[in-house]
Amino acid sequence: MELSTCRSRCTRGRATAEKRGIEIERGTVRLGSHRPSDSRNGKTKASLTVGRVIGGFNVRGEETRVASADEAAALIERSKFLWHQRFQLVPGVFTPGVSDVGYLMDIAEIPGDLAGMTVLDIGTTNGGAAFEFERRGAERVVAVDIADASLFGISELIAFLGSTVEFIRASVYELPAVLREPFDLVVFWGVLYHLRHPLLALDSLRELTAGTVSIETAIADHELGALRGRPCVRFYRLGELAEDSSNWFAPSVAALCEWLYSCGFEPTKVHSWPSNYPSRAIVNALVAPGQPEYQGVSYERPIRAQLIDQHDGDGNR
């Protein structure tokens, strides 16, 4: 599905913006103020802005200014961080990433009204989904990524949008101990196949989910031939999947659903694409009552992962 393109002209910065693949239409967004980061449970929590904007003031009663589409385009043009996601930064201006947030929102059937809900976005990168959850009225949105906030510019984007999204740098394996609370909606898009311990990650999601989890991942169905439809898992030792050595496992859709049942979820929606050669899928699931299934059928018990921090020269784990 292609999001609608924007046709209105911007008189400043348009030619340069178009070179970056920025789509521009006249529009405004209100900016809030900037708040220093704090820490929680020993983790850096970059909660950088104040208040969802209402009219010309944010919820703390502070007057806000208006950013034009030109200013949003200029921010994209001067940015030094990576753009992984394509999403509407302000009305009419779309970011130049390759992962289409709007498409995933539609496929996952995320409600248009999230009023009163708490949402956890794991693998947030640029925060495009997190900002959309906020726009749909979520009471609290926490955005998580294993990478430092500077890699995908989420701190800068939070400040630009006057957003109340909270950023936490952490691994999914350690999140239950970091957050110590479940969320109404947990979104886990584009992460699972990057993990060496996918079942341990799903166990973490079970602890973090009070209502629905939405998982988007690479799947192996297009590689399975006669085994398509069976619960199979493809392992990639090196860079066999998309020439990316951070990709480890791709389950079939059937295997992903079996994993979810075992970890204490009940799948409610399954969608894979493309239809004739499925290589991606979204599965939504509810928390099943009682203890996770695997605890009742085996001697396995919950495991807590202990991460050993190793940083490269860019400050990434």
Residue 8 has pLDDT above 70, yes or no: no
Bridge-based pairing state of the strands 233-235 and 249-251: antiparallel
Instruction: Give the domain range for residue 250.
Output: 81-297
Residue found under tokens 């394509």 = 86
CA atoms of 157 and 59, how far apart (whole Å): 19
Q: Is residue 309 part of a domain?
A: no
Residue 62 has pLDDT above 60, yes or no: no
Q: What is the pLDDT of residue 43?
A: 34
Q: What is the pTM assigned to this prediction?
A: 0.79
The confidence band for 167, taking pLDDT boundaries of 50, 70 and 90, is: very high
Q: 217 and 108 in contact (C-beta within 8 Å)?
A: no
Cα of 145 vs its chain's centroid, Å:
8
Q: What is the pLDDT of residue 309?
A: 72
The confidence band for 316, taking pLDDT boundaries of 50, 70 and 90, is: low
CA atoms of 182 and 207, how far apart (whole Å): 7
User: What's the whole-number mean pLDDT along residues 237-258?
Assistant: 96
Give the CATH number of the domain where residue 105 resides.
3.40.50.150
Q: Is residue 286 part of a domain?
A: yes
Average pLDDT score over the chain: 82
∠ CA 75-311-148 to the nearest 5 degrees? 25
Q: What is the pLDDT of residue 311?
A: 55
Q: Is residue 12 part of a domain?
A: no
Residue 55 has pLDDT above 60, yes or no: no
Number of domains in the chain: 1
Q: Is residue 20 part of a domain?
A: no
Q: Is residue 133 part of a domain?
A: yes
